[in-house]
Structure 1
Amino acid sequence: MATLCKKIELTKAGEIVQKEALNVQGSLQSMTSQITAFTKAEIGELKIAVLPGEITDLVSTLCIHFNRLYPNIKVVIQTTDELEKAVLENQADFGIGFHFHQQDKLQVTKLYEEAFYLISNQHDGRKKIPFPAIFDSPIVLFPNKHQCRKILDRTSEEVGRQLDPAVETSSIEAILNLVRNGVGHSVVSRTLYEFYDTEDLFFQHIEKPTLTRAVYLAMKKNCFVNYPARKYLELLMQEIGKLQFHTEEKEMPTLQNTLS
């Protein structure tokens, strides 16, 4: 006995449902792929706001290591004096600087505290020198808009002196080379001294008064910390640990929560 097969055809409404179902399936697959790629750091963007000066050098140097680990993440470094605005208006995932005021809108965490060194190409045997001693020889400095220079200018006024650099330059490499070649000594933050090739130079701690400053991380309160930002901050904390910068114990829970 022959078997009769009844041909089944979709109605017009069924065709519409089938087409839309396939579109939804495709969208879900695409969305899943994008989320997977993002969480695995295959794509993404990291936006950092920093003050002009040595913090820019710190952030940029770490970006070299970050790029090797996550080559497909785009990194945008915004150098600005308006760090709070950049973070609050979502122009940056976080900001790194020295002073933040809008504590009601920002989560501000102290990363570390650092000292300033007097560096030269010769050593006179002293591990520490009083601040006024920096005026005894020609000095090479950053321009007065630089954060490090601002601290030096304020402290100079406090001791009744005025800085008169032999050379001013915004390049840390140029400063180190000028010091290396005996043009003068200089004052730099420990961050810069540690991050650059300074093995042939000598440093001395400055006292009376001691020059120190705190470095802070600022993010919007209750914001989602994306994968690129978390991974960069993990690298930053590892570097701070290696350099044995002082991070207060009370700040550690906040940092750990930020990275978790």
Structure 2
Amino acid sequence: MEIRQLEYFLVLCNELHFTKAAEKLNITQPTLSHQIKVLENELGIPLFDRLGKKIAITDAGKILHEQCTHIFRAIDNTSNQIIELKELKAGKLAIGTLPGELTNLVSDYLLDYHLEYPDLQICINSSDDLLKQFKDNKIDFAISYKQEYFDYEDEHLQIIPLFTEELLFVAHSEHPLLASEKIAFQDVLELPLILFPTIHQCRKVIDSAARKEKLHVKPKIETASVQAIFKLVEQNVGATIISKTLCNLYKTNTICEQTIYNPPLTREIVLLYRKDKFINFAAKAFIRLMVEGLEEAGFSISEKSQQLIQSLIKYA
């Protein structure tokens, strides 16, 4: 049973005349007769009673007509829903991020995205285990930090580097170390520091660098609140080490930042998605908007990554 045969059948039901139906379908009358006969043979029962030049629908034909109506209505509904998805008038977008700065980074583009595509449902899943989010099919793509020990290929994940982010020394504008062009990591760790807890991604970079240099991290205050960290720094309670992204978002006139060296603290922000999963139009549109926003904000995305991103969002 083919869709084409069912289309022929429905037209013949409406016309109840082989010649008229064939003309409407723009095929020959013998072709129509043959296709209807093939359909009847497959079902093993007549669909029409031939009454000379006239025909009438049999009981079997009435059943098929009713079901065909449902089938073609479902096909039309499916087509319309897919068109709505392509035009971003319906659908859901789920983005995975690591907790902390990356959740803030992605969330910065939610308003612009909503204003452009108000009918879409958007969800940001913040989790330390993005791999499980991918395996459970809970996210369309993710923004993460590149983990050197992680085998992305083995997990069927495509990775596109976005930009390299620097962690900065941030302190009250009157702090004496800010007079230097850059500050040694060891000197920073000797100061009273206000840092994120050890489970935070930013803190993990700091702790990892300290271990490599055989240094100790002993913060004066630990808090997961970005606002609290900047308020304490503003009140000159202590200094902090924080990402450039957050520094740009929360810095005030009484706070200044400086580069850290020996070693510099950096991390690579990447876009992740499954190689074996279709990237829907809602996801492509968000990636396009986010990349444009990153470039406008001065983040440097390599030419190779630009090409990969353009290839990914080609039909958005």
The TM-score, its normalising length taken from structure 2, stands at: 0.73
Out of 105, 111, 116, the position equivalent to 1:69 is 116
| Secondary structure in 2 matching 1:42 | coil
The letter for the 2-side match of 1:103 is E
Q: Distance in 1 between matches of 2:115 and 2:186?
A: 44
| Secondary structure in 2 matching 1:28 | helix
Instruction: Specify the alignment match of 1:108 in structure 2.
Output: 159
Instruction: Specify the alignment match of 1:168 in structure 2.
Output: 222
Out of 189, 202, 218, the position equivalent to 2:272 is 218
CA contact (8 A) 2:88 2:119 kept: yes
| Secondary structure in 1 matching 2:250 | coil
Q: Which moved more, 1:223-232 or 1:101-110?
A: 101-110
Percent identity between matched residues is 30
Instruction: Specify the alignment match of 1:142 in structure 2.
Output: 196
Residue 227 (1) aligns with residue 281 (2): yes
Out of 235, 254, 259, the position equivalent to 2:308 is 254
The structure carrying a bigger helix percent of its residues is 2
Residue 198 (1) aligns with residue 251 (2): yes
CA contact (8 A) 1:84 1:102 kept: no
CA contact (8 A) 1:88 1:220 kept: no
Residue 93 (1) aligns with residue 140 (2): yes
Q: Which moved more, 1:45-54 or 1:23-32?
A: 23-32
Q: Distance in 1 between matches of 2:122 and 2:264?
A: 36
Out of 21, 26, 43, the position equivalent to 2:73 is 26
Larger Rg: 2
Instruction: Specify the alignment match of 2:31 in structure 1.
Output: none
Q: Which moved more, 1:144-153 or 1:127-136?
A: 127-136
- What stretches of structure 2 of length at least 5 have no aligned partner? 1-53
- Cα deviation digits, residues 91-149 of structure 1 (max 9, x gap): 21112222242314111111111111111221533332111221343211100111111
| Secondary structure in 1 matching 2:179 | coil
Out of 106, 117, 123, the position equivalent to 2:168 is 117
Q: Distance in 2 between matches of 1:153 and 1:43?
A: 44
Q: Which moved more, 1:143-152 or 1:178-187?
A: 178-187
Residue 177 (1) aligns with residue 231 (2): yes
| Secondary structure in 1 matching 2:89 | coil
- Cα deviation digits, residues 214-246 of structure 1 (max 9, x gap): 111111114311011101111221122122223
CA contact (8 A) 2:169 2:242 kept: yes
- Cα deviation digits, residues 172-196 of structure 1 (max 9, x gap): 12211221222211111112222x1
CA contact (8 A) 2:97 2:103 kept: yes
The letter for the 1-side match of 2:169 is L
CA contact (8 A) 2:89 2:117 kept: yes
CA displacement at 1:22 relative to structure 2: 2.7
The letter for the 2-side match of 1:96 is I
CA contact (8 A) 1:84 1:95 kept: no
| Secondary structure in 2 matching 1:202 | strand
CA contact (8 A) 1:46 1:74 kept: yes
The letter for the 2-side match of 1:15 is K
Instruction: Specify the alignment match of 2:99 in structure 1.
Output: 52
CA contact (8 A) 1:178 1:184 kept: yes
CA displacement at 1:11 relative to structure 2: 4.1
| Secondary structure in 1 matching 2:198 | coil
Q: Distance in 1 between matches of 2:121 and 2:308?
A: 26
Q: Distance in 1 between matches of 2:204 and 2:65?
A: 68
The letter for the 2-side match of 1:198 is K
Q: Distance in 1 between matches of 2:107 and 2:309?
A: 21
The TM-score, its normalising length taken from structure 1, stands at: 0.87
| Secondary structure in 1 matching 2:206 | helix
